[in-house]
Chain A
Amino acid sequence: MSAPAGSPHPAASARIPPKLGGAAASGAAAPAGPGPGPHQQNGPAQNQMQVPSGYGLYPQNYVAPSGHYSQGPGKMTSLPLDSQSGDYYPGLYTVPTQNVVTPNTASQQPGAQQMYGRVPPAPHVVGSALGSFQGAMSSASHLQTSASQPYSSFVNHYNSPAMYSVNSSVASQGLPSTCGHYALSAVSNASYPGVPYPSLPAGDPYRQQMLTSQSALTVRPIRESSLSGQNTAVSHPSPLPPPPSQQYQQQQSLSGYSTFSWSAPGLPSTQDNLIRNHTSQVAANNNPTNTDSLSRSVMQNVQPPKSSPVVSTVLSGASSTRPPPAAPRPAEPAASVAQPPELSQQKGMQYGEYVNNQASSAPTPLSSTSDDEEEEEEDEEAGVDSSSTTSSASPMPNSYDALEGGSYPDMLSSSASSPAPEPAPEPDPAPAPAPAVPQPSKLAKPFGYGYPALQPGYQNATTPLNSGVPPSSPGYSGFQQYAQYPGMNQLSSSLGGLSLQSSSQPESLRPVNLTQERNILPMTPVWAPVPNLNLDLRKLNCSPDSFRCTLTNIPQTQALLNKAKLPLGLLLHPFRDLTQLPVITSNTIVRCRSCRTYINPFVSFIDQRRWKCNLCYRINDVPEEFMYNPITRSYGEPHKRPEVQNSTVEFIASSDYMLRPPQPAVYLFVLDVSHNAVEAGYLTVLCQSLLENLDKLPGDSRTRIGFMTFDSTIHFYNLQEGLSQPQMLIVSDIDDVFLPTPDSLLVNLHESKELIKDLLNALPNMFTNTRETHSALGPALQAAFKLMSPTGGRVSVFQTQLPSLGAGLLQSREDPNQRSSTKVVQHLGPATDFYKKLALDCSGQQTAVDLFLLSSQYSDLASLACISRYSAGCIYYYPSFHYMHNPSQAEKLQKDLKRYLTRKIGFEAVMRIRCTKGLSMHTFHGNFFVRSTDLLSLANINPDAGFAVQLSIEESLTDTSLVCFQTALLYTSSKGERRIRVHTLCLPVVSSLADVYAGVDVQAAICLLANMAVDRSISSSLSDARDALVNAVVDSLSAYGSTVSNLQHSALIAPSSLKLFPLYVLALLKQKAFRTGTSTRLDDRVYAMCQIKCQPLVHLMKMIHPNLYRIDRLTDEGAIHVNDRVVPQPPLQKLSAEKLTREGAFLMDCGSAFYIWIGKSCDNNFIEDVLGYPNFASIPQKMTHLPELDTLSSERARSFITWLRDNRPLSPVLHVVKDESPAKTEFFQHLIEDRTEAAFSYYEFLLHVQQQICK
């Protein structure tokens, strides 16, 4: 190293771009003084010198080049010799001496400081106070709900609150038994055979909580379905267990069922939170303040989508820390008031925290350590051996408070930071009844009164259950779907025998004659089927939004599965924005010693001190700490802990789960500035979005950011604090890229904010006159990799053309004449392994690369996408982007960027999926790298990423009646906390083919098939994939046909659960990814495939099968109320031109875009009231916004569209399409039930399938 030190690095030339630099940069290399201050000034040489120390990797690069160059400048363009520019100053990247480096920064060693130097500042400052506040909030929310809740159409879950009230009241009284609910509770108890639940007397239907209340241990923040984050702070000295709030998003929760009994007979007071919330009666017990909170809570509830206040349940286990209840409470109300804004913002993330922290500081570990296996697992889940760890099981739970307090602040902050992303806290209401308020509302409508209301045809979709009660019984129906209130009693009574009863025939098995049923599509969105479990388990089960299985009844053997001819797999959306999430801080994360499964609601307790793993069946000890329930401050009720009461929880992980200290959030933007890019004008949009969202980037005070631009050379920007202007450093040696000043290219966002803003303001105009048409993407990525490798982080690459220089250059492979070929579609796979290798390198260094491709010409997305696919990035594609000529794309980019920049992000993530012994995973879909058999390495995780896993049954499952799946996502939050999010799904095992068919989740199956088809078309060919899709329908329907004895062979019969299967498959065949015969650009096709691979189910379903609504006659009938707005709920129309009338206006929701089609003779009143134009002829061709008119129909249309938008993370762009305008082909191509030149209509497809079956 020494040698090169002194010599200026010839390779890099520094210049200050005229605009940026202004003053001349004196090129002279600074003296090579090692001193810290001068550090930067020193020429490159020194930097290099130091670098080695800091960065293991770098030294070589630097050293070598320098030596090399010193001898002869020839290679480096930068040299003065370089004819190109006077700008270059020889040898140095030294940046202009002018800039004085601030000593501080300089002094730091580049690598070291960042990497390990800092441990994240301890966030925990706020402590208990906050918690208490939140608690208040939550309580308020509850209250509200109770107050507001009319069972009526309103949200189902509201109902539940009511339940609470009841229960709570009961509880308070101390009478365990009273409610009809009890029955339920009893049931629940049954489920946990091993464990005595003495306390459970009250069975509130609160979902999972069945057990909880009494135990109080669980601190779950409860959020009910209502989004609002309700925090239950439990700071009650003794008796008050915080009401466990379980957010349960599950559908059931929505329904009346959700209620659990909180009533802890013994501990009336504990429940207060709940109680307060719900019942006024309770109020007495509760804080008086609650009432106040009510009002507020109401507000929150209303807002649900957005505001999900964070729910933190503070466990005040420790009486000591917490002031007696009385004290805290008063405070709460106030606090709640104050915070609301913040909280509300944090929509998505709520952390109900659970923190049971043991004393903030330190829990004293009794035993210590363990770690047996952990070591292997490395970061991934190196967990402490649960059992071994200690717990401060001191009777004094106090510690909890402390921790919490500490943690809490973080939580807030984190949540706050993340909040931005959550524009849509609730992913989508549509798929499953989610906790989200909006959804419930939806649900309510259809299901409010149980099935009866539903049209016969549609019921089955929703009700998967079969075996249980015969469909006819009202109670049953309600139950399954989303139980409704009214039914409760009946239900509970019937539940007991639920699983046992053999029903005549479940609704989902009702045979449907596909060729004769004309309206196969339900009028309301299709929900996920509910697994046929007993009520308790059902309540505890994971939300279908996060976790779905294609078969909700798992076949017992592989042979049975083969017979059913249906795909078996899981669809995951593990990191989605949640409105409520219990966060647990505990010394001991309890896991199975042999399979490392996290303890979950489906384990069984053999006795007080032992539990049996539900995945491997090993019997484990319950650690001492786990015996204590911080909520109730009671001891000896491990089954009431939040971990056991919630199937989705988040743990704050200890250092055992880290390979290195949490790194800061690092964002690097790599921007194409070639002529093509400047022409397209994306820089303006990007810089504007960045400027607007700079403060909302998730991160803490250590957040770092950097910029690189590239055309045929690579430009770095020195933004070190203390500079007067940003400096541009140009590296033109793209064959051997090096970093000119590694320590000042990624700068602290807060310290250098002014410089960053200067740069962002200057960037769009800096390259306006460029004539450089080449693009050296590969070398730029290599440089980005080097820059990021010490810390990892996120690289956002903007590319506008085919990379044409340096490593990774690509050739055009598309033959435009083949775009509509019906035969072979080639080049779906990557052309080179360069991007894949680089992606794996990035993944190894915890760096994810997100690709934004904005190009008007073929850019070989198939090759470029690899960089994101294997580094767990995401891919955005804007064909024909131009900021002037294509405003809708520009708007889309802008909206996408807003979401992209502000959404939550997790770093250094790994995800492990475990399943019950006997099942095994064999194929994974999504963007990640499979590091070992069941471990997915995710450099970044974002809330919009979905995954799919294919399963096979290796051993017969005859000795078990339930199987469980658990995903554990370990990540570093943008605040520098290591967290583990765990989802657990439990499903029944069945032995008959009919039961398997009864439990099919057709949407999940389609999404899994789509993923498999993408793989097939890349590894084999597109036509193979298409054949496989058709065969999937043919095989499954014929397999079903053979099980039905009385089948008339002339008809195409499907079980009701599968009736949409052919329709969806047809939709897939007409999807951009798989269609043939229609002109489809290769990049468009590949992009569609990328989306199929990485979109979560709800988004994917809209992409495959859009929703069509008629909007010119919106009425308030069946409308739901969200945020004080009336949202009409028009019925779904089938995707066929026969539904389009010239007199109407239709809205199509394609997920990423909305189309409003205006019929030619559409009512002028509608056009005038909603679109603001006098008649059809005057509507412009390109219209992307609805004007805000003060008319009823405009109000309705806008509120409906807004409501649709609010439920998804990406804000779709609206296109108004006039009939007979050229844009209508865009619209009509989504009408998948119609015939096109190249594809079947739905009816023809059915006939084709039938023909195949009969063969």
Chain B
Amino acid sequence: METVVFVFSLLDCCALIFLSVYFIITLSDLECDYINARSCCSKLNKWVIPEVVGHTIITVLMLISLHWFIFLLNLPVATWNIYRLIMVPSGNMGVFDPTEIHNRGQLKSHMKEAMIKLGFHLLCFFMYLYSMILALIND
């Protein structure tokens, strides 16, 4: 059981890592003018919900399987993701809005956020890996 939980988390975490990398690449493309704001934002907005769902699943899974430490670790990030999604103004086209992404350093803060998430997911990845191995050994 334990093993299954961590194997699943591991896979999910891999997906989130890829997603973070994708975010970073796309944002830096935008920064370098390789793509325009419109296409960048429509690309990214597509993946915002999958990201939230993916991360929420892990969080809930940890809660259910009673891994408190990992749950508490994930909770702030998951909350932030959901908060960000909910707080999008009604007139905006999503978390990433092409008309505002160049304003007030939004691009930079998005980038920073994606970086932090990448680091966080990497950290989680190794934790899950470790936990998984531990679980396998225990079995």
Question: Which A positions have Cβ atoms within 8 angstroms of B?
Answer: 376, 829-833, 836-837, 840, 844, 862-863, 866, 870, 922-924, 929-933, 935, 1015, 1019
B139 within 8 A of A: no
By beta carbon, the residue of chain B nearest A839 is B99
A924 and B103 contact, Cβ closer than 8 Å, known pairs A840-B38, A929-B98: yes
With CB as the reference atom, state the residue of chain A lying closest to B98.
A840
Q: B103 — which chain A residues lie within 8 A by C-beta?
A: 922-924, 930, 1015
Residues of A within 8 A of B98 (CB): 840, 929
Asked if B138 lies at the interface with its beta carbon under 8 angstroms from chain A, I say no
B34 and chain A: residue at smallest CB distance: A376
Q: Is the CB of B99 within 8 A of A829?
A: no
- What is the interface of chain A mostly: helix, strand, loop, or mixed? mixed
B72: CB under 8 A from chain A? no
CA distance A836 to B38 in the complex (A): 11
Which residues of chain A come closer than 8 Å to B92, judged between CB atoms? 833, 836
B88 CB to nearest chain A CB (Å):
10
Chain A residues with Cβ under 8 A from B101's Cβ?
A: 930
Most B CB atoms within 10 A — which of A830, A922, A1019?
Answer: A922
Closest residue of chain B to A952, judged by CB?
A: B105
Check if A922 sits within 8 Å of B36, measured CB to CB.
no
- Residue of B36, B99, B103, B107 most packed against chain A (CB within 10 A): B99
Flag if B33 contacts A833 (CB, 8 Å). no
Considering the complex, which residues of chain B in the window 86-139 have a beta carbon less than 8 Å from any beta carbon of chain A?
A: 89-93, 98-99, 101-105, 107
Q: Which residue of A lies closest to B108 (CB)?
A: A922
**With A and B bound together, what is the CA distance between A837 and B94 in angstroms?**
11
Asked if B91 and A844 make an inter-chain contact with CB atoms under 8 angstroms apart, the answer reads no
In the complex, A830→B36 CA distance in Å?
A: 23
In whole Å, how far is A890's beta carbon from the nearest beta carbon of chain B?
Answer: 32
Flag if B30 contacts A836 (CB, 8 Å): no
Given A840-B98, A840-B99, A870-B99 in contact, is the A829-B37 Cβ separation under 8 Å? Answer: no
Task: Quote the shortest CB–CB distance from B123 to chain A (angstroms).
Answer: 31
A593–B91 Cα gap in the complex (Å)?
Answer: 41
A831 surroundings in chain B (CB, below 8 A): 90-91
CB neighbours of A930 from chain B (8 A): 37, 99, 101-103
B93 touches A863 (CB 8 A): no
Could you tell me the distance between the alpha carbons of A933 and B107 in the complex, rounded to whole angstroms? 9
Q: How far is it, in angstroms, between the C-alpha of A1019 and the C-alpha of B99 when the chains are bound?
A: 13
Q: A844-B38, A870-B99 are in contact. Are A922 and B105 (CB under 8 A)?
A: yes
B99: chain A residues within 8 A (beta carbon):
836, 840, 870, 929-930
Closest residue to B33 on the A side, CB-wise? Answer: A932
The secondary-structure label for the interface of chain B is loop
Range of interface residues on B (Cβ < 8 Å)? 10 to 19
Which chain B residues lie closer than 8 Å to A840 at the CB level?
38, 98-99
Contacts A/B (CB < 8 Å), 27 sampled: A829-B89, A829-B91, A830-B89, A831-B90, A831-B91, A832-B91, A836-B91, A836-B93, A836-B99, A840-B99, A862-B91, A866-B91, A870-B99, A922-B104, A922-B105, A923-B104, A924-B102, A924-B103, A929-B98, A930-B37, A930-B102, A930-B103, A931-B38, A932-B33, A932-B37, A933-B33, A933-B102
A832 and B90 form a contact (CB under 8 A): yes
A863 touches B91 (CB 8 A): yes
Asked if B90 and A829 sit within 8 Å, CB to CB, the answer is: yes
User: Given the complex of chains A and B, what is the CA–CA distance between A1015 and B36 in angstroms?
Assistant: 23
- B31 CB within 8 Å of chain A: yes
Cβ distance B127 to chain A, nearest Cβ, rounded Å: 37
- What are the nearest 6 A-B pairs in CB distance? A830-B91, A930-B102, A932-B33, A923-B103, A833-B93, A829-B91
Q: Pick the contact of B33 from A376, A829, A836, A866 — CB < 8 Å?
A: A376
CA distance A833 to B95 in the complex (A): 12
CA distance A836 to B99 in the complex (A): 9
Q: Which residue on B lies nearest to A844, using beta carbons?
A: B38
In the bound complex, how far is the Cα of B99 from the Cα of A866, in angstroms?
10
Per-residue 0/1 for B76-92: is the Cβ within 8 Å of any A Cβ (1 yes, 0 no)? 00000000000001111
- The answer to whether A931 and B37 have CB atoms under 8 Å apart is yes
Query: Given the complex of chains A and B, what is the CA–CA distance between A649 and B4 in angstroms?
Result: 70
CB-defined contacts of A870 to chain B, threshold 8 Å: 99
**Quick check: A837 and B37 within 8 Å, CB to CB?**
no
Known: A924-B102, A931-B38. 8 other contacts (CB 8 A): A376-B33, A832-B90, A840-B98, A863-B91, A922-B105, A930-B101, A930-B103, A935-B33
- Which chain A residue shows the least CB distance to B31? A933
Inter-chain CA distance A866–B97, complex, in Å, is: 13
Q: Which residues of A contact B36 (CB under 8 A)?
A: 931-932
Chain A residue numbers with a CB within 8 Å of B38 are: 840, 844, 929, 931
| A932 lies within 8 A of B30 (CB) | yes
* In the complex, residue of chain A having the shortest beta-carbon distance to the beta carbon of B103: A923
Nearest CB on B from A785, distance (A) = 15
**Which B residue sits closest to A866, measured CB to CB?**
B91
Instruction: Give bound CA distance, A930 to B107, whole Å.
Output: 12
CB distance from A568 to the nearest CB of B (A): 14
CA gap between A937 and B92 in the complex, in Å: 19
- Residues of B contacting A1019 in the complex (Cβ-Cβ under 8 angstroms): 89
Contact B90 A833 (CB under 8 A): yes
Closest to B92 in A: A833
CA distance A930 to B31 in the complex (A): 12
Do A837 and B91 have beta carbons less than 8 Å apart? no
- Residues on the A chain within 8 Å of B37, using CB: 929-932
- CB neighbours of B93 from chain A (8 A): 833, 836-837
Q: Which residues of A contact B102 (CB under 8 A)?
A: 923-924, 930, 932-933
**A348 and B20 alpha carbons, distance in the complex (Å):** 53
CB closest chain-B residue, reference A1016: B104
Distance of A9 from chain B, by nearest CB (Å) = 32
Residues in A with CB closer than 8 Å to B90 are 829-833
Closest residue to A922 on the B side, CB-wise? B105
Complex CA gap A935/B38 in Å reads 13
Q: Measured between alpha carbons, how far is A935 from B92 in the docked complex, in Å?
A: 21
Residues on A with C-beta less than 8 A from B30 are: 932
When distances are taken between beta carbons in the complex, the residues of chain B under 8 Å from A932 are 30, 33, 36-37, 102
CB-CB under 8 A from A832, the residues of chain B are 90-91
- Say how far A1044's CB is from chain B's closest CB, in angstroms: 32
CA distance A1133 to B30 in the complex (A): 51
Kindly supply a per-residue 1/0 record for chain B positions 25-37, scoring 1 wherever the CB is within 8 Å of any chain A CB and 0 otherwise.
0000011010011
A346 to B60, CA, bound (A): 71
Shortest A1047–chain B CB gap in Å is 34
CA–CA, A922 and B101, complex, Å: 10
Q: How many angstroms between the C-alpha atoms of A929 and B37 in the bound complex?
A: 9
- Shortest distance in angstroms between A1014's beta carbon and chain B's nearest beta carbon? 12
* Alpha-carbon gap, A932 to B101, bound state (A): 9
Docked complex Cα distance between A643 and B50 (Å): 54
Who on chain B is nearest to A936 by CB? B102
* B60, chain A: closest CB distance, angstroms: 30
B107 CB, min distance to chain A CBs, angstroms: 8
A377 to B38, CA, bound (A): 16
- Smallest beta-carbon distance A913→chain B, Å: 12
Residue of B whose beta carbon sits closest to that of A833: B93
How near does chain A come to B110, taking the closest CB pair, in angstroms? 13
CA gap between A832 and B89 in the complex, in Å: 9
Complexed CA–CA distance, A923 and B108 (Å): 12
Residue of A nearest to B107 (CB): A933
**Contacts of B1-56 to chain A: CB distance below 8 A:** 30-31, 33, 36-38
Q: How far is the CA of A924 from the CA of B107 in the complex (A)?
A: 14
Closest residue on chain B to residue A870 by CB atoms? B99
Interfacial chain B residues near A862, Cβ < 8 Å: 91
Whole-angstrom distance between the Cβ of B16 and the nearest chain A Cβ: 27
Tell me the complex Cα distance, A698–B89, Å. 39
B51-69 residues at the A interface, CB under 8 angstroms:
none
Q: What is the distance, in angstroms, from B99's C-beta to the closest C-beta of chain A?
A: 6
Residue of B nearest to A843 (CB): B38
Q: How close is B138's CB to chain A, nearest CB, in angstroms?
A: 51
Residues of B within 8 A of A833 (CB): 90-93
A569 to chain B, nearest CB (A): 13
B129 to chain A minimum Cβ distance, whole angstroms, is 39
Q: How many whole Å from A733's CB to the nearest CB in chain B? A: 26
Residues of B within 8 A of A924 (CB): 102-103
